[in-house]
């Protein structure tokens, strides 16, 4: 029983559990967006190499289809415009890895022509995509 001169205890809302739930939801969304990245590439039959090493992810991918068509980050492009487009993608005074995805059936001369265009770009480091056998 309460005495009349006793002060009333005000109602309280404890927000600590609510903050914990909000941080848990925030963590879930951050982690889920990290797994939503997609690698860009066209379907090609890559040659196999036992000494293949994993390369860090890159934003610049040059793909040569079995028909000899060239694509830069999934956008078709003529070989004459390749060098200028890649130059625009590489930040000033920085290096960028350019991955060449050439189908195994592509003529060796065309792969060399593409690589020659890319080697003339300052800051471009070349890598040829392969798959392990």
Tell me: the pLDDT tens digits for 2-51? 566 777 777 788 888 889 999 999 999 888 887 775 554 456 566 666 76
pLDDT at 63: 86
Selection from 68, 64, 57 nearest residue 97 by Cα: 57
Name the H helices within the chain: 16-34, 79-89, 108-119
102 phi and psi, to 5 degrees? -110, 130
**Is-contact 70 79, C-beta < 8 A?**
yes
What is the model's pLDDT at position 96? 82
CA dist., res. 127 & res. 125, Å (int): 7
Distance CA 18, CA 14 (A): 8
Looking up tokens 């994993």 gives 54
pTM of this prediction exceeds 0.75: no
Query: Distance between CA 80 and CA 50 in Å, rounded?
Result: 33
Instruction: Report pLDDT for 26.
Output: 94
Between CA 118 and CA 29 the distance in angstroms is 38
Question: Strand, coil or helix: what is 120?
Answer: coil
Q: Give residue-wise pLDDT tens across range 66-122.
A: 888 888 888 888 888 888 888 888 877 778 888 888 888 888 888 888 888 888 888
* Tokens 């005495």 sit on residue: 3
Q: Flag whether pLDDT at 1 surpasses 60.
A: no
Which domains are seen in the chain, by residue range?
60-128 (3.30.420.270)
Task: Please report which residue ranges of 35-68 form alpha helices under DSSP H.
Answer: none
């Amino acid at each position: 029983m309460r005495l009349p001169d006793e002060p009333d205890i005000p109602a309280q809302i404890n927000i600590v559990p609510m903050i914990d739930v909000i941080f848990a939801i925030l963590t879930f969304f951050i982690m889920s967006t990290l797994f939503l990245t997609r690698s860009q590439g066209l379907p090609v039959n890559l040659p196999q190499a036992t000494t293949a090493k994993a390369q860090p992810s890159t934003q610049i991918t040059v793909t040569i289809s079995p028909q000899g068509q060239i694509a830069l980050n999934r956008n078709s492009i003529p070989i004459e415009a390749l060098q200028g487009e890649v130059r625009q993608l590489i930040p000033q005074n920085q290096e960028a890895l350019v991955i060449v995805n050439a189908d195994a059936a592509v003529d060796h001369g065309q792969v060399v022509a593409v690589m020659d265009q890319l080697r003339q770009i300052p800051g471009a480091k070349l890598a040829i995509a392969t798959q392990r056998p």
